[in-house]
Amino acid sequence: MKICFVSIDVESDLAKPQSFEGVENLDRIFNIFKKHNLSATLFISGNVLERCENRIRGWAESYEIASHSFSHQFWNNLNNEQRQEELDRFINLYKRIFNKNPKGFRAPSHIIDNSGLKLLEEKGFSYDSSVVPHSPFLKNYRGYRGKAPLSPYFPNYQDYMKKGEMRILEIPVSGVLSFPLAGTWISKLPFFVYELLFRIENPDFLSLSLHSWDSLNDKVIIKLEKLIKLLKNKGYIFLDGKQIHEQFSKN
Ligand SMILES: [Zn+2]
């Protein structure tokens, strides 16, 4: 079975941090997901959850709602206590709205480390999806730290980029032959490049990761549906984070 993890990071706009136009236009992406019957996880920052509570209650009927921290500050700038505050604030808000704990987390800008993952585990998260496991061409992610497994794995306490004994599952943000399936890439790469890459390789696990502000980019909207059709033809099934966690906890 070939799995594609579908997610959207829901946060303020990239170009204007005080604006939430991307969040307001998410239906443009949801319409494509609905048409193709996709499961997906929304990694929502606490400040968006606070602001759009009612709308997000509606989204929760179709999608998994997970954490993208509270204030979207990068974790390399926060000490353990500040990280804890970020998580507690998010968890309390989430519990008040949904009457349960969030299962998944994605670190802002993919910046995660050993102590960060351990903290997530202590706070009861079932999975994290921050690790970029390969060096993408042309761009070094702020959070990129080297090679990691390309499929979901339980990390090592001493080195989270390796397999080990942790109870929290890492769902890496894997692409095809090191090309990410992410909004900016989807927008910029000519579509035939993806067709070519998938002719060469069909990895067992993929991560299709979008941002709320991708909804404002017509190129992403047009090519996203083409990409989903291509993946369907290659035999991929589309799962959210909690479904992947169930799948990998059984083995
Ligand atoms: Zn983000």
Measured in angstroms, how far is the CA atom of residue 182 from the centroid of ligand 1?
A: 12
DSSP string of 153-182, one letter each residue: BPBPSS-TTSB-S-SSEE-----BTTB-EE
The encoded tokens of residue 158 equal 């001493």
Span from the CA of 200 to the centroid of ligand 1 (angstroms)? 31
Residue 185's pLDDT is what?
93
Ligand 1 centroid – CA 208 distance (Å)? 15
Q: Are 234 and 1 in contact (CB under 8 A)?
A: no
Question: For residue 111, what pLDDT is reported?
Answer: 94
- Report CA(13)–ligand 1 centroid distance (Å): 10
**117 Cα to the center of ligand 1, angstroms:** 17
- Asked if residues 42 and 59 have their Cβ atoms less than 8 Å apart, the reply is yes
CA of 84 to the centre of ligand 1 (A): 18
Q: Which of 3, 1, 11 is closest to 240 using CA atoms?
A: 3
Q: Using the mean position of ligand 1's atoms as its centre, give its distance from the Cα of residue 103 in Å.
A: 17
pLDDT at 139: 60
Q: Report d(CA 190, CA 187) in Å as an integer.
A: 8
Residue 35 CA to ligand 1 center (angstroms) comes to 26
Q: Ligand 1 center to residue 154 CA distance, Å?
A: 23
* 209 CA to centre of ligand 1 in angstroms: 11
pLDDT value, residue 138: 56
Q: What is the pLDDT of residue 68?
A: 98
pLDDT of residue 134: 84
CB 3 within 8 A of CB 206: yes
Q: 68: CA distance to ligand 1 center in Å?
A: 7
What is the DSSP secondary structure assignment for residue 247, as one 8-state letter?
H
Centre of ligand 1 from the C-alpha of residue 46, in Å: 11
What are the helix (H) ranges across the chain? 21-24, 27-35, 46-51, 53-59, 80-98, 114-122, 183-188, 191-200, 218-233, 241-250
What pLDDT score was predicted for residue 251?
Answer: 62
Contact of 144 with 107, CB cutoff 8 Å: no
In the reported structure, the alpha carbon of residue 251 is separated from the centroid of ligand 1 by a whole-number distance in angstroms of 31
| Cα 109 to ligand 1 centre (Å) | 6
Local structure of residue 149 (DSSP, 8 states): -
Q: Which of 158, 104, 157, 149 is nearest to 131 (CA)?
A: 149
Q: How much distance in Å is there from the Cα of 156 to the middle of ligand 1?
A: 25
Nearest to 209 by CA among 189, 182, 184, 178: 182
Which positions of the chain have pLDDT values less than 50? none
Strand partners, 65: 42
Can you say whether the dihedral through the CA atoms of 92, 93, 99, 104 is positive or negative? negative
The pLDDT tens digits for 65-96 are 999 999 999 999 999 999 999 999 999 999 99
Ligand 1 centre and the CA of 43: distance in Å? 8
Confidence (pTM):
0.96
Instruction: Kindly tell me the burial class for residue 28, based on how many C-beta atoms sit within 10 Å of its own C-beta (0-12, 13-18, 19 or more).
Output: middle
Domains contained in the chain, CATH given: 2-250 (3.20.20.370)
- Give 212 Cα–ligand 1 centroid separation in angstroms: 9
